[in-house]
Amino acid sequence: MLEMLINPSKAEKRPWEMFFIGAFYATISLVLVKWIFSGDPVLSKYTGILVVTFCVMFTIPFMYYALKKEEEKDLHIKGFANLLKEHNKALIYLMFLFIGFIVAFSFWYIIFTDGNQSFRAQIETYCMINKPTHFDDCVSEYGVKRVSRTTAFLTAQERIVNIFANNIYVLIFTLVFSLIFGAGAIFILAWNASVISAAIGIFSKSNLARLPLGLARYMIHGIPEIAAYYVGALAGGIVSVAVINHDVHSEKFWVILQDALNLVIISVVILFLAALIEVFITPALF
């Protein structure tokens, strides 16, 4: 029932509604996980993953129909410019969904007194990315006791390469997930939303008054980065649907494949720009 609150056709007309859908799904996921698993001695250690899993469960039906709709556009709309314009509608409402995830996760990270335990895996990921040379101190500072390996110190130029390579790695996983199971990429995207939210919560120092500043801090490079992942997810998803619905040797399939390749190229370019923003612009502003 909850996963069918909105459909892609309605979302195209009123994309802003997806923000509230995303916030609602994230909130319900957190409530369910804390209610059902917080007292379990084993599963309580993995609440960060379970929250993402519930978000994925709620979102998969919508993603499936969204990708199916985008694949149908490839069959009826001529010209890449026109196709890109139509795909942009899906990108907009998916970004609203993602921002809804982030705002809700960030809000509840600050509100929950045990936020560091509810987002345990996300905090470890945050420390690995942002404080690789002080990983042990970082996770201890934010209440996570388990220690993982660290990485070497990185210069600004090396950070660009490292961030871009990591983003490409995530993009590849997004493509693979969406190819194997059209809507499967939503797991990667929901996970990234939860990691960004943990980072925003940490930056905000558990102070709701600093939440807008935290959102601005990470959304400057986060929006283009996640937009690139969604473009990749659309590319893989429409190919996945096309493989099921059409002969791979047909002319229609090759039109869809060409469109998907163009989308992947666009996503790579956006990811490179996002890496530049993250290394040079965001630190200068914050």
Residue 43 lies in a domain: yes
* Overall number of domains in the chain: 1
Per-residue pLDDT for 101 more than 90? yes
Residues spanned by the domain of 256: 15-285
Is a pLDDT exceeding 90 seen at residue 182? no
The rounded distance, in Å, linking the Cα atoms of 265 and 31 is 39
Q: Distance between CA 234 and CA 228 in Å, rounded?
A: 10
Q: Does residue 261 sit within a domain?
A: yes
Asked if residue 10 is part of any domain, the answer here is: no
In a domain, 83, yes or no: yes
Convert 226-235 to b/e letters by CB count within 10 Å (16 or more is b). bbbbbbbbbb
**How big is the chain, counted in residues?**
286
* The pLDDT value given to residue 95: 93
Indicate the pLDDT class of residue 195, thresholds 50, 70 and 90: confident
What angle (nearest 5°) sits at the alpha carbon of residue 228, between those of residues 6 and 118? Answer: 65
Evaluate whether residue 5 is within a structural domain: no
Alpha-carbon Rg for the chain in angstroms:
19
- Is residue 1 in some structural domain? no
DSSP code for 280: I
The structure's pTM equals 0.82
pLDDT per residue as tens digits for the range 243-278: 877 666 777 788 888 888 999 999 999 999 999 998
Q: Average pLDDT of 87-106? A: 93
Question: Binning pLDDT at 50, 70 and 90, where does residue 131 land?
Answer: low
Q: Provide the percentage of residues in the chain whose pLDDT is more than 70.
A: 84
How much is the pLDDT for 115? 52
Alpha-carbon span 56 to 66, nearest angstrom? 14
Read off the pLDDT band of 192 (50, 70, 90): confident
Does residue 8 fall inside a structural domain?
Answer: no
